[in-house]
Amino acid sequence: MLRITVAQLNWMVGDVAGNVAKMVAAARDAVAARADLVVFSELSLTGYYPGDLLDEPDFLARVAQGLADLQQASREFPDLHWIVGAPLAHDGVGKRLQNTLVVLKDGAIVLRYAKQLLPTYNIFDETRHFAPGPDVARVLRVGGHQVGLMICEDGWNDAGDDYAVNPFSRLADAAPDLVVSINASPSDIGKRETRHQVFGAACRRHGFPLLYVNQVGGQDTIVFDGASFAVDASGAICHEAQRFVEDVTTLAFEEGRFTTGTGMPLAPVAPAGLSTMAFYRAQIVLGLRDYARRCGFAKAVIGSSGGIDSALTMALAVDALGADNVVGITMPSVWSSAGSVDDSVTLCRNLGVALVTHPIADTVAAFARQFEAAFGQPLKGLPLENLQARVRGTTLMEYSNAFGHLLLTTGNKSEISVGYCTLYGDTNGGLGLIGDLYKTEVFELARHVNEAAGRELIPQAIMAKEPSAELAPDQRDTDSLPPYPVLDEILKLLIEGGRLAPAELAQATAFVAALRATSEGEALVARVRGLIARNEYKRRQAPPIIRVRSRAFGSGRQMPIAAKVA
C-alpha cells in the first residue's frame, strides 16, 4: 500500500521561509499518518506566480536557501518522499529558469522534472521567465509503485489541440501505476468541472489513475480554490479535497484504487459543485481576505451610496473581514435622495457596520466657485457630475490614508466595460470586489446573500431601486445606457465570447443575433463595442479586481488603448 499526503495549502508569493514552514508542518502530519509521500503544489516554494521577482538575484538566493532548508528538514523524516514545486536554474539554451518539480528524500534531490508546456494565454505568461522542459517522462519508484509526474499545463493537452507535445502520451509509454500532477490552477466559474472533465478523459484514455494537487488562496486578482482530486483509471472522480480552505489529507493507493489513509472507502464526490452565486461569494470573500492580509490591511472602508453595488460590496467585505473591521461612509450631495442616506443607514445597521456621514455639497460648491473664478465659465453638465464623484473619491482616500483602511471600489463589470464610472472618483481604491460581475449578476448575488442569511441583510429598498449615479437631477443609468439585461448580453459576447459556458454562449449569441436583425439593434451593438474600446484607458488606471469569470479585465484581457477597433 502506498500512502500519499495531499498538502493543499495557501502559499504567499515571495514568502519562501513561510512557505517552507508550511511544508515542514505538513510533512510532520504526513509522517503521523504513516505516509510514504507528501505532495505540494506547483511552485509551492515561491507561491504562484512570482512574476518578475524571478529576475531579482536576492529572490533567487532566497529560493536556493529555501530549497536547502527543505533538504535539511527532510533528513528528519528519512523514509518520506517530498514532491515540491520550485523555480530552478536551467543550464541549456533559452531562459535561465525552469518551472520544476523536485523530489526530496533524506536530504537529497532524488528526481527533477521540468514543466514542458508553458501557458501564455489569459492570465498566464510563463515563457517570460521559464524554458520548457525536455519531452521526457519522469517516474518515481516508491516502494513497489511507479509514480509518474507532471506539472499543471502538461496535463491539459491530451486532445492535442494546443501544443505539439503531449506529456500524457509520453507518461503512458512509461506505464506508471499512478500519476501525480502538481498544479496552480486558478479558479473561475465552471473551472472545477472542466478539470474533472479534462483529466477524467485522459485517465480513461490511457488507463491509469491520477492525483491532482492544487493550491488554495487569493493572490492579487486571482483566487485558487483548492479542490484537489483523485481520478481512477476509468476516469471517475473518486476523491475531492475541500474548496477555498487549506486541506491536508492522506490517501492510500493499492492495486489501482484510492482509499482513505486507513484503507476505508472514500466518500462519493458530487458531480455538481457550488451554485454559481455560492461560488462567486466564496471566491470573492477568500480573495479579499488574502489580499487584505498580505497587503497589511486589517480594515476596509466603502463609500455607501445607498445603491446595490456598494451594498453588495459591503456585505462581502463583512463576510471576509468581520463587521467590526468595515466602515461605510455616506456622502450626500445636493442631488442625493433622502432614500440614499436612509438606505445606507438601514444597510449598515443590518450588517453591524459603522456608518459615517460626510456631506459634500459645500465642498462641491467651493470647487465650482473657484473653477468659474479661474476659468471664466460656470462648471456644469458632465464636469460638475464628475466633480461630485471625485470629491467622494478624495474623501474616501483621505479616510484610508488617515486611518489605514483598505478602500474597496464598488464598480461592476457592466459599468467598467463601457466607462460608466469616473476616473479618480468612484474608480479610486485598492481592490474591486465585484468588478468581474455583470450588473444583473450583482442583483442575483445580493439576493443570494439575503437568502443564505435567512434575513434581509441588503434592504429590499436597495434591491428594488432603479440604478442611478445621483450626480444630476432625476438621473438614471438608463439615461446613458441600455437596460442592464440587454447590455449584459451584448457585453458577454463581446468581452468573453467563446470563453463563456456553453449555455451562456448560446443565450448571448441568440440575443445579440436578434438585436442585429434590426438597424437599431445593430447600431446599439456597434455603440457598445465602441464604448468598450474607448474606455480602455480608464480600466488601465483602475484598481485590480477579483477574477471570477473566464475573462476578466486586467492581465487576462490585454488590449491596446490607442487602436482602431472597427
Does residue 73 lie in a domain region? yes
- Pick the last residue of a domain from 225, 241, 266: 266
Indicate whether 295 and 327 sit together in one domain.
Answer: yes
Does residue 248 lie in a domain region? yes
| Strand extents, DSSP E, 232-286 | 237-240, 247-254, 257-260
Residue 46 and residue 63 in contact, taking contact as beta carbons nearer than 8 Å = yes
Does residue 282 lie in a domain region? yes
Residue 59: give its domain's CATH number.
Answer: 3.60.110.10
Strands 108-114 and 97-105: antiparallel
Instruction: Please confirm, yes or no, whether 415 is among the known catalytic residues.
Output: no
How high is the pLDDT of residue 325? 98
Indicate whether 259 and 283 sit together in one domain.
Answer: no
Indicate whether 186 and 297 sit together in one domain.
Answer: no
Does residue 522 lie in a domain region? no
Closest CA relative to residue 217, chosen from 85, 69, 44: 44
Does residue 558 lie in a domain region? no
How high is the pLDDT of residue 473? 62
Strands 210-213 and 216-219: unpaired
Indicate whether 173 and 285 sit together in one domain.
Answer: no
Q: Which three cell numbers stand for residue 111?
A: 528526481
How high is the pLDDT of residue 469? 57
Indicate whether 431 and 472 sit together in one domain.
Answer: yes
Indicate whether 177 and 219 sit together in one domain.
Answer: yes
- Pick the last residue of a domain from 447, 476, 505: 476
Does residue 481 lie in a domain region? no
Quickly count: other Cβ atoms within 10 Å of residue 238's Cβ: 19
pLDDT in tens, 452-491: 999 999 999 999 887 765 565 665 666 678 999 999 999 9
**Residue whose cell numbers read 507561491:** 47
Indicate whether 196 and 284 sit together in one domain.
Answer: no
**Residue whose cell numbers read 456644469:** 380
Residue 317 and residue 302 in contact, taking contact as beta carbons nearer than 8 Å = yes
Residue 395 and residue 358 in contact, taking contact as beta carbons nearer than 8 Å = yes
Instruction: Please confirm, yes or no, whether 115 is among the known catalytic residues.
Output: yes
Indicate whether 246 and 293 sit together in one domain.
Answer: no
Indicate whether 256 and 321 sit together in one domain.
Answer: no
**Which of the following is catalytic: 22, 42, 203, 385?**
42
β-bridge partners, 290: none
| Helix (H) or strand (E) run with residue 194 in it | helix 191-206
**Residue whose cell numbers read 445606457:** 481
Domain tally, the chain: 2
Distances (CA, A) of 526 to 311, 494, 520, 530: 32, 10, 10, 6
**Which of the following is catalytic: 22, 115, 413, 439?**
115
Round to the nearest angstrom and report the end-to-end CA distance of the chain.
62
Q: Which three cell numbers stand for residue 44?
A: 509551492
pLDDT in tens, 146-202: 999 999 999 999 999 999 999 999 999 999 999 999 999 999 999 999 999 999 999
pTM above 0.85, yes or no: yes
Sequential pLDDT tens for the chain (566 residues): 999 999 999 999 999 999 999 999 999 999 999 999 999 999 999 999 999 999 998 999 999 999 999 999 999 999 999 999 999 999 888 899 999 999 999 999 999 999 999 999 999 999 999 999 999 999 999 989 999 999 999 999 999 999 999 999 999 999 999 999 999 999 999 999 999 999 999 999 999 999 999 999 999 999 999 999 999 999 999 999 999 999 999 999 998 999 998 889 999 999 999 999 999 999 999 999 999 999 999 999 999 999 999 999 999 999 999 999 999 999 998 876 667 789 999 999 999 999 999 999 999 999 999 999 999 999 999 999 899 999 999 999 999 999 999 999 999 999 999 999 999 999 999 999 999 999 999 999 999 999 999 999 999 999 988 776 556 566 566 667 899 999 999 999 999 999 999 999 999 999 999 999 999 999 999 999 999 999 999 999 999 999 999 999 998 899 999 888 76
How high is the pLDDT of residue 512? 97
Does residue 497 lie in a domain region? no
Q: Sheet harboring 257-260: ordered strands across?
A: 108-114, 97-105, 81-89, 37-39, 2-8, 247-254, 257-260
Indicate whether 203 and 87 sit together in one domain.
Answer: yes
Indicate whether 166 and 46 sit together in one domain.
Answer: yes
β-bridge partners, 258: 253
Residue 337: give its domain's CATH number.
Answer: 3.40.50.620
- Pick the last residue of a domain from 476, 497, 528: 476
Indicate whether 226 and 298 sit together in one domain.
Answer: no
Which domain, by its residues, includes 249?
Answer: 2-266
**Which of the following is catalytic: 152, 203, 238, 348?**
152
How high is the pLDDT of residue 65? 98
Instruction: Please confirm, yes or no, whether 295 is among the known catalytic residues.
Output: no
How high is the pLDDT of residue 335? 73
Does residue 525 lie in a domain region? no
